[in-house]
Structure 1
Amino acid sequence: MIRILIVILLTGTAGIEGQTEIIEGSDKLHLRNSIESEPRQDAGLSEAAYKKVYSYTKNTNAFKDFSYEQMKARILNTSSWVPPAELQKSFPYYHAGYDYEKRPVWVAEIGKFDFRDIVAKGDKSIVEAKRYLFQAVLNGIFSIAAMDTEEQEIKDTFVIFDMEGASIKQLNFLPSWVQFAELFGKYWDLVFQLLGRLVIINANYVTKLATDIARPVVGQLMERVEVYGVNRNVWLPRLLKHMPIEAIPSWYGGKKNFKPISIHG
């Protein structure tokens, strides 16, 4: 289950162009978006960004046979695509800031994601979701590349999963597991390179049970995973050991004027 959750996030959700704002008075992130109806013609990416992505993908089973130019075309095609508005609305995530190691901090309210609905809608929905997922990988890598300097290269990300709202309904739908297994098999080596630390908060009994079952299976990866329940007094101090309070959303105990670096979905 932990492997599946990690694949979901880092092959995760996609960015949109337009104006975004945080609606005041909410204890979670709510966005008002102005979404483009057509794909962008130019993703505005630097050569350094393309090379950063290629430095990861060239070592993976899924992309090892891609030349640099082929991968560059794939990156441009995926980055410039604007997903359906319904898909973006259902799978929001955001770049909250950077930790003390200069790794980008990404947050996703995974517990609210309805993967079952996406799969149940059929092939077209699944294809769009997979493209949407890969776009999130690129967003994550771009945020890593933004902190690279001649003296220091950043290699991975810090991820927070908010599991509030997770239900057994998402776990007992066999077609979803089939799709997740396919994603895992195809992109696992890419995910392993990109995930530096995963902190799961607001874990309920479903999340904790899945974690306990997965623990002996995922082995080394569990060294990067921390799972906490709903008590903020437990997990907030842990987050503050890794990152400044400015990188923590206000609804998780950060400053009231918190604003994400970027919002996707």
Structure 2
Amino acid sequence: MSLRPWLILMSYLCFFQINSNSFAKEFHNSENALNATEEWQAPNDVINSYPYYFSGFDEENRPILVCEFGKWDLRRFFDEGRDVNILHKYVDQALDRFVSGPPKELYPEGNAADGTVLIADLDGFNIRQVASAECFRLILGIASKFSKLEKHLAYGFFINLNYLAERTYEVARPLLGSLVERVEVYGTNSAKWIPKLLRALPADQLPPWYGGPKKHFSPVVVYG
């Protein structure tokens, strides 16, 4: 790969990091935005391209939301000239579901503790997603939306952060607010983060690629 894309990327990272406070104000939507999207139906190609799911529950019956964000090809929306507001609304709906959890009939018997567990997987995150200023702004906008989960996140894990994802996380960190205090961040070495997941979460509530049993795995509910 030529050096030029990386130089462009680093200039973006520096610019957005220096101006993170102004972008935080720009991207911070109102609380009401999280309560108006449950009945909205996203286009089928969006649902299929940007999935997320509840894998199961922790020992306190908190739902575990998994988002394999590194595989979300956000750049495609700009390349195809699509309305980016669709993606914003799709993320708002996902955050609604994070707050409300899966349908109540899917919970295990017994009372559930407050909050939701988050696993954000950045595996596959690459330079194509951030080599466009527009797409990079969208990523920061999504990060800002996640700050709305401060009161609802019990604890979480950001995993599979390569060098590029780590740099992007550092830029987005101010936009995440106090959410970062309840999130553990790990690189691409699964030998380090799988034991952490298994200490915090029941193995049978996780798919095999996160340390779950080596057998057929069925999430509680899949969106996408």
Give the TM-score of the pair, scaled to structure 2.
0.72
Tell me how far apart the structure 2 counterparts of residues 157 and 92 of structure 1 sit (CA, whole Å): 18
Tell me how far apart the structure 1 counterparts of residues 143 and 52 of structure 2 sit (CA, whole Å): 20
In terms of fraction of residues, the more helix-rich structure is: 2
Residue of 153, 158, 161 corresponding to 1:203: 161
1:140: how far off?
Answer: 1.9
Tell me how far apart the structure 1 counterparts of residues 141 and 161 of structure 2 sit (CA, whole Å): 25
Tell me how far apart the structure 1 counterparts of residues 62 and 209 of structure 2 sit (CA, whole Å): 21
**C-alpha spacing 1:181/1:261, structure 2 compared with 1 (3 Å):** same
Which blocks of at least 5 consecutive residues in structure 2 are unaligned? Answer: 1-12, 14-28
1:178-235 deviation per Cα after TM superposition (whole angstroms, max 9, x unaligned): 34455566x4552222323221222211122333455578674332121222322211
Tell me how far apart the structure 1 counterparts of residues 137 and 92 of structure 2 sit (CA, whole Å): 18
Which residue matches 1:259?
218
Q: Does 1:140 align with 2:109?
A: no
Tell me how far apart the structure 1 counterparts of residues 138 and 172 of structure 2 sit (CA, whole Å): 18
Q: How does 1:69-80 map to 2 (within 5 A)?
A: 74=36, 78-80=37-39
Number of residue-to-residue matches in the alignment: 194
**C-alpha spacing 1:137/1:92, structure 2 compared with 1 (3 Å):** same
For the residue of structure 2 that corresponds to 1:102, the secondary structure is coil
CA contact (8 A) 1:200 1:226 kept: yes
CA contact (8 A) 2:102 2:221 kept: no
Q: Which residue identity lines up with residue 155 of structure 1 in the other structure?
A: D
Which residue matches 2:7?
none
Q: Which residue identity lines up with residue 95 of structure 1 in the other structure?
A: F
Which residue matches 1:167?
126
**C-alpha spacing 1:252/1:211, structure 2 compared with 1 (3 Å):** same
Residue of 204, 208, 211 corresponding to 1:246: 204
Tell me how far apart the structure 1 counterparts of residues 131 and 210 of structure 2 sit (CA, whole Å): 30
Q: Which residue identity lines up with residue 194 of structure 1 in the other structure?
A: H
For the residue of structure 2 that corresponds to 1:260, the secondary structure is coil
For the residue of structure 2 that corresponds to 1:258, the secondary structure is coil
**Runs (4+) off by over 6 Å:** none
For the residue of structure 1 that corresponds to 2:193, the secondary structure is helix
Which residue matches 1:235?
193
Tell me how far apart the structure 2 counterparts of residues 215 and 188 of structure 1 sit (CA, whole Å): 11
For the residue of structure 2 that corresponds to 1:105, the secondary structure is strand
For the residue of structure 2 that corresponds to 1:63, the secondary structure is helix
Q: Does 1:63 align with 2:32?
A: yes
CA contact (8 A) 1:103 1:144 kept: no
- Of residues 208-217 and 238-247 in structure 1, the stretch that sits farther from structure 2 once superposed is 208-217
For the residue of structure 2 that corresponds to 1:193, the secondary structure is coil
For the residue of structure 1 that corresponds to 2:150, the secondary structure is helix
Report sequence identity in percent. 31
For the residue of structure 2 that corresponds to 1:233, the secondary structure is helix
For the residue of structure 1 that corresponds to 2:181, the secondary structure is helix
Tell me how far apart the structure 1 counterparts of residues 139 and 190 of structure 2 sit (CA, whole Å): 30
Q: Does 1:103 align with 2:71?
A: no
Which residue matches 1:35?
none
Give the TM-score of the pair, scaled to structure 1.
0.62
Tell me how far apart the structure 2 counterparts of residues 87 and 217 of structure 1 sit (CA, whole Å): 25
**C-alpha spacing 1:258/1:191, structure 2 compared with 1 (3 Å):** same
